[in-house]
């Protein structure tokens, strides 16, 4: 029976093709608007690393002036970053499963064979080898640098696929050398395509920008005194002893984000205990003169506190949902018009014995097909809209504008379901026709 | 107006379709006014004056590639040479650039013991910085040459004399903001004397709540990285940029970190707002098209349904104009009912938005203009179906439908 209804439905769709097309287009436009805004909003607010969302934490210690609270807030909070000495101490104690300082500098990058004028100013991320394993960073060639490189601060580097394509034509460049300023770094690994969204581990204002192209060990940055004062925010409550970089490393200025990976509650509470004893020990040395406010903050809590998300995309989703409702109402009135013309057909089929349930099924199938076609067309339109959005939203990364396959499936299901719901009234109207009244006029 | 009564009566007999139509209009209206309000709100924040001579200001971020002790001297030399370039009005050094995201923020208090009254952006530079930005004084005087200092970093800790923006002055002294001239205010708990009030100058972060709050101090920072701010004569920006870069790179070890004209800075600063408002205008456009199509379809439907009635009316002597008038009026009545519901819905939605997203609520003028737009849209969409209806021949009435 179903296949017969599908055949009838297709025939009927063809008979009223302009009306049907109009309904399909209107549904498609509504679906496209909703899914475009929803995709953007979803990609911007999703959990960046679902497998690690309850095991990664930002370490916050209350290292601030004895005279006033950090930022002078009434409710005292800890700075979001650590001083170099605390980061180094925490790494040395090695109490967490993974320890990931996030710092950086910028320098002129070139190949040893290139001329100095070809060097490009490049942002460099300094961290530890744990960065790649904890944040599940994929490698194309080679691997992360070794633990010993972290400890001694060797001049090794991991570069992005993009940079590898540019400098080495995409060849396996492991073992090759690049120059950062006056220093040479040996390539230990090349990343595969990797774009974490939102990028939670650094400054919240850059949460939707691409990760950096060059990674070097944190200890190497410290050893070589590589420092770019205008690259990142750093906050000091106490002047460094002098203006040298070494003095900055030894100062109380905070600017190093410090993430740790801790599996399970027991590791987490053990690490909290460790932080407590660490800060107490530092207090005994005359540091940390404020109340102890140690904190292990999750990526989502950090992004939320730093207001990384703009509410614009959420507003847009709500507007688009209203817009979809409007489109469906429009489709409903078009379908009603369509079925109005069927009064004769309905009467005839009822008169020759079809039950109203049969007719209901048949028309639901017809409406469902309209919804399906609308959904598929809407999906195509969504891709076009996302393409244009990626041109328009130049401040965001291009990969925000990508739809996952689940979202695509949801889109089509949403379209079919909503057209069925909105088709109920027109169908009910159509099959209520009294056979006798219509048959007279046939 | 004679048609009004029959229209209202026929609504009752046809309430399903009429209700649908009214809903469509109400939703259109609700989205329309809210989307326009949001889009214009974005446009307004982009259009706020920065206080700068926007077309003629550029900045170059570069290093001072000499030993630390010689950096202050190198800075001085760079400034002199940049000022002497043809086409340059003023060249200065600054600790930040408005709207670029690079700057410093400080806490402001009027009393030494209070924590802070408000926040402000901070720019430190030489005596020319105010003029290099192209900002204007509205009260007080400019800095005296003796107030100028040179430090390595964190100039706000060393400043003695400062200027503040009128907006900051108003937040401290409300209407008597002019009194602030000559007073001492506390910046990060350090006393500093206000000598002048700047008309407008924006801080480094465009979305900051207090982006209009700025403190300007005559303290040059000769750090390893400096921002040169250059104001050029009109139309000479490209030439000046070329000659400035040529001069700067002539020194061995010089790295040019970044350079942008202020127009580029502003474009980057507001790319999110621009994109959002463009998207909203796109939504509004799509909305109008879909609604017009919907009304068109609805009107066609209701007219086809009433073919016989129209024929009868024509046969009874109704003119073509009267037929058109009937449908146009019917459309207007339905739109009006839809708008009334839409106004209520729009107020509810706007209140929900403003409490959820900290936006302002819809001003009544939007309701007024939104209503006019919606009515017009309805009338345009109904014109063709109504015209087609008027073309029906009276002979239709004689056929059975």
pLDDT in tens, B214-239: 999 999 988 878 999 999 999 999 99
Interface contact A33-B286, CB threshold 8 A: yes
Instruction: Give the integer Cα–Cα distance in Å for B255 and B65.
Output: 8
Q: Confidence band (pLDDT; 50, 70, 90) for A272?
A: very high
On chain A, the residues whose CB falls within 8 A of the CB of B304 are 337, 340
On chain B, the residues whose CB falls within 8 A of the CB of A336 are 16-17, 20, 301
Residue A81, pLDDT above cutoff 50: yes
Better-scored residue on pLDDT, A80 or A341: A80
Q: Which residue of B has its CA nearest to A321?
A: B31
Q: Is B106 on the interface with A (CB under 8 A)?
A: no
Least confident piece of the model among A172-181, A432-441, B245-254:
A432-441
Interface contact B272-A329, CB threshold 8 A: no
Residues of chain A with pLDDT > 70, as a percent, come to: 97
pLDDT of residue B16: 73
DSSP assignments along B173-206, one per residue: HGGGGGGGTT-EEEETTEEEEEEEEES----S-T
Residue B212, pLDDT above cutoff 70: yes
pLDDT of residue B28: 87
Residue A237 burial (10 A CB sphere; 0-12, 13-18, 19+): middle
Residue A183, pLDDT above cutoff 90: yes
Half-sphere exposure of B350 (CA within 13 A, CB side): 23
pLDDT of residue A328: 85
Residue A71, pLDDT above cutoff 50: yes
On chain A, the residues whose CB falls within 8 A of the CB of B356 are 311
Half-sphere exposure of A56 (CA within 13 A, CB side): 24
pLDDT of residue B303: 80
Instruction: List the single residue in B101, B278, B401 with the smallest CB-CB distance to A441.
Output: B401
On chain B, the residues whose CB falls within 8 A of the CB of A205 are 101
Interface contact A336-B294, CB threshold 8 A: no
Least Cα distance to A128 among A231, A39, A222, A254 occurs for: A222
Section A299-328 average pLDDT: 82
Residue A395, pLDDT above cutoff 80: no
Q: Check: CB of residue A276 under 8 Å from CB of residue A294.
A: yes
pLDDT of residue B401: 47
Q: Which of B245, B297, B399 to mutate to test the interface with A (most CBs of A within 10 A)?
A: B297
Instruction: List the single residue in B293, B356, B358 with the smallest CB-CB distance to A22.
Output: B293
In angstroms, the first-to-last Cα distance of chain B is 29
On chain A, the residues whose CB falls within 8 A of the CB of B258 are 121
Interface contact B255-A108, CB threshold 8 A: yes
Instruction: Give the integer Cα–Cα distance in Å for B303 and B232.
Output: 66
pLDDT of residue A437: 67
* A237 CA: distance to closest CA in chain B (Å): 11
How many whole angstroms from its chain centre is CA B97? 20
* B138 CA: distance to closest CA in chain A (Å): 31
Interface contact A319-B401, CB threshold 8 A: no
Mean pLDDT of chain A: 87
Interface of B with A in 184-243 (CB under 8 A): 189, 223-225, 227
Instruction: List the single residue in B189, B223, B358 with the smallest CB-CB distance to A229.
Output: B223
Residue B361, pLDDT above cutoff 80: no
Q: Is B31 on the interface with A (CB under 8 A)?
A: yes
Which positions ≥6 away from A126 have C-beta within 8 Å? A101, A103, A104, A105, A215, A216, A217, A218, A220, A221, A226
Q: Check: CB of residue A116 under 8 Å from CB of residue A99.
A: no
Instruction: Give the integer Cα–Cα distance in Å for B20 and A333.
Output: 7
pLDDT of residue A284: 93
∠ Cα A311 A312 A315 (to 5°): 90
Count the Cβ atoms, other than its own, within 10 Å of residue B176.
10
Least Cα distance to A86 among A68, A69, A62, A105 occurs for: A62
Mean pLDDT of chain B: 87
Instruction: Give the integer Cα–Cα distance in Å for A125 and A437.
Output: 79
pLDDT (tens digit, 9 = 90+) per residue, B276-316?
888 788 878 888 888 888 888 778 777 877 888 888 888 88
* B275 CA: distance to closest CA in chain A (Å): 6
Instruction: Give the integer Cα–Cα distance in Å for B192 and B171.
Output: 17
Interface contact A334-B280, CB threshold 8 A: no
Instruction: List the single residue in A319, A392, A395 with the smallest CB-CB distance to B283.
Output: A319
pLDDT (tens digit, 9 = 90+) per residue, A186-232?
999 999 988 888 889 988 878 888 899 999 999 999 999 998 877 77
Instruction: List the single residue in B102, B255, B293 with the smallest CB-CB distance to A330.
Output: B293
On chain A, the residues whose CB falls within 8 A of the CB of B353 are 315, 318
Section B54-80 average pLDDT: 91
Q: Is B286 on the interface with A (CB under 8 A)?
A: yes
DSSP assignments along A309-334, one per residue: S-THHHHHHHHHHHHHHHHHHHHHHH
Which positions ≥6 away from B186 have C-beta within 8 Å? B108, B109, B110, B111, B112, B114, B192
In angstroms, the first-to-last Cα distance of chain A is 27
Q: Confidence band (pLDDT; 50, 70, 90) for B372?
A: very high
* B217 CA: distance to closest CA in chain A (Å): 19
On chain B, the residues whose CB falls within 8 A of the CB of A318 are 353
pLDDT of residue A350: 81
Residues of chain B with pLDDT > 70, as a percent, come to: 97
Q: Is B401 on the interface with A (CB under 8 A)?
A: yes
Section B147-151 average pLDDT: 87
Residue A74, pLDDT above cutoff 80: no
pLDDT of residue A165: 94
Section A124-145 average pLDDT: 94
Which positions ≥6 away from A294 have C-beta within 8 Å? A59, A60, A61, A62, A78, A272, A275, A276, A279
Q: Which of B206, B279, B289, B352 to mutate to test the interface with A (most CBs of A within 10 A)?
A: B279
pLDDT of residue B102: 86
pLDDT of residue B279: 79
Q: Which helix (H) or strand (E) holds A22?
A: helix A17-45
Among A7-11, A219-223, B30-34, B325-329, name the most confident range: A219-223
Q: Check: CB of residue B167 under 8 Å from CB of residue B228.
A: no
Residues of chain B with pLDDT > 90, as a percent, come to: 37
Least Cα distance to A421 among A314, A323, A331, A301 occurs for: A331
Count the Cβ atoms, other than its own, within 10 Å of residue B218.
27
Least confident piece of the model among B117-121, B319-323, B397-401:
B397-401
How many whole angstroms from its chain centre is CA A416? 28
Least Cα distance to B294 among B389, B374, B391 occurs for: B374
Q: Which helix (H) or strand (E) holds B149?
A: strand B149-151
Interface contact A320-B283, CB threshold 8 A: yes
């Amino acid at each position: 029976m179903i296949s017969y209804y599908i055949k009838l439905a297709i025939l009927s769709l063809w008979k009223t093709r302009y009306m049907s097309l109009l309904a399909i287009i209107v549904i498609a436009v509504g679906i496209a608007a909703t899914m475009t805004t929803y995709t953007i909003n979803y990609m911007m607010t999703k959990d960046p690393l679902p497998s690690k969302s309850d095991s990664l934490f930002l370490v916050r210690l209350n290292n601030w002036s004895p005279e006033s609270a950090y930022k002078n807030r009434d409710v005292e909070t800890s700075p979001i970053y650590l001083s170099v000495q605390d980061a180094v101490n925490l790494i040395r104690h090695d109490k967490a499963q993974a320890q990931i300082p996030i710092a950086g500098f910028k320098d002129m990058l070139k190949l040893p064979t290139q001329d100095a004028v070809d060097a490009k100013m490049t942002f460099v991320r300094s961290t530890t080898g744990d960065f790649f394993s904890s944040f599940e960073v994929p490698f194309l060639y080679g691997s992360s640098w070794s633990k010993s490189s972290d400890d001694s601060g060797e001049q090794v580097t991991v570069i992005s696929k993009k940079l590898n394509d540019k400098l080495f034509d995409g060849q396996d460049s492991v073992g090759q050398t690049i120059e950062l300023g006056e220093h040479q770094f040996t390539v230990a690994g090349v990343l595969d395509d990797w774009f974490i969204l939102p990028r939670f581990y650094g400054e919240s204002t850059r949460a939707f920008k691409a990760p950096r192209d060059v990674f070097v060990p944190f200890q190497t940055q410290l050893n070589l005194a590589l420092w770019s004062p205008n690259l990142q925010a750093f906050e000091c409550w106490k002047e460094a002893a002098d203006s040298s970089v070494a003095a900055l490393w030894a100062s109380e200025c905070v600017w190093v984000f410090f993430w740790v990976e801790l599996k399970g509650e027991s590791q987490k509470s053990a690490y909290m205990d460790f932080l407590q004893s660490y800060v107490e020990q530092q207090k005994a040395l005359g540091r940390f003169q404020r109340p102890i406010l140690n904190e292990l903050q999750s990526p989502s809590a950090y992004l939320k506190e730093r207001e990384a998300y703009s509410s614009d995309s959420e507003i847009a989703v709500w507007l688009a949902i209203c817009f979809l409702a409007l489109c469906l109402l429009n489709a409903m009135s078009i379908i009603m018009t369509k079925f109005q013309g069927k009064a004769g057909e309905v009467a005839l089929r009822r008169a020759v014995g079809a039950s109203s349930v049969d007719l209901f099924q048949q028309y639901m199938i017809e409406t469902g097909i309209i919804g399906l076609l609308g959904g598929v067309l809407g999906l195509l339109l969504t891709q076009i809209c996302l393409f244009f959005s990626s041109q328009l939203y130049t401040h965001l990364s291009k990969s925000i504008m990508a739809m996952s396959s689940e979202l695509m499936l949801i889109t089509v299901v949403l379209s079919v379901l909503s057209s069925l719901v909105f088709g109920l009234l027109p169908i009910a109207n159509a099959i209520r026709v009294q056979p006798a009244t219509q048959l007279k006029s046939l | 107006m004679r048609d009004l009564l029959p229209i209202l009566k026929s609504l009752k007999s046809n309430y399903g379709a009429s209700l649908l139509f009214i809903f469509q209009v109400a939703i259109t209206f609700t989205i329309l006014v809210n989307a326009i309000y949001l889009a214009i709100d974005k446009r307004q924040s982009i259009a706020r004056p920065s206080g700068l001579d926007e077309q003629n200001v550029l900045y170059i971020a570069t290093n001072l590639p000499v030993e630390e002790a010689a950096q202050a001297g190198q800075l001085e030399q760079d400034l002199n040479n940049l000022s002497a370039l043809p086409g340059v009005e003023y060249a200065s050094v600054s600790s930040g650039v408005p709207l670029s995201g690079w700057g410093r923020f400080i806490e402001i208090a009027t009393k030494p013991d209070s924590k802070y009254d408000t926040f402000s952006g901070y720019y430190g530079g030489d005596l020319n910085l105010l003029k290099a930005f192209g900002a204007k004084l509205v009260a007080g005087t400019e800095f005296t040459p003796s107030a100028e200092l040179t430090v390595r970093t964190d100039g706000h800790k060393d400043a003695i004399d400062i200027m503040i923006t009128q907006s900051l002055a108003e937040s401290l002294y409300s209407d008597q903001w002019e009194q602030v001239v000559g007073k001492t205010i506390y910046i990060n708990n350090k006393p500093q004397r206000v000598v002048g009030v700047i008309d407008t100058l924006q801080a480094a972060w465009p979305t900051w709540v207090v982006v209009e709050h700025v403190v300007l101090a005559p303290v040059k920072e000769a750090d390893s990285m400096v921002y040169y701010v250059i104001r050029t004569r009109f139309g000479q920006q490209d030439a000046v940029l070329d000659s400035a870069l040529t001069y700067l790179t002539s020194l061995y070890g010089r790295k040019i970190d970044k350079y942008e004209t202020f127009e580029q800075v502003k474009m980057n600063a507001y790319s999110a707002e621009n994109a959002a408002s463009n998207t909203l205008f796109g939504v509004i456009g799509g909305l109008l098209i879909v609604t017009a199509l919907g009304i068109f379809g609805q009107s066609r439907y209701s007219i086809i349904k009433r073919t016989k009635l129209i024929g009868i009316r024509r046969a009874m002597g109704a003119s073509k104009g009267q037929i058109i008038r009937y449908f146009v009026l019917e459309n207007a009545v339905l739109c009006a009912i839809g708008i009334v519901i839409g106004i209520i819905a729009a107020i509810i939605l706007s209140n929900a938005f403003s409490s959820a997203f900290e936006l302002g609520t819809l001003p009544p003028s939007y309701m007024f203009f939104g209503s006019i737009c919606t009515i017009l849209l309805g009338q345009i969409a109904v014109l063709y179906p109504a015209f087609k209806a008027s073309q029906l021949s009276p002979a239709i009435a004689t056929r059975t439908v």
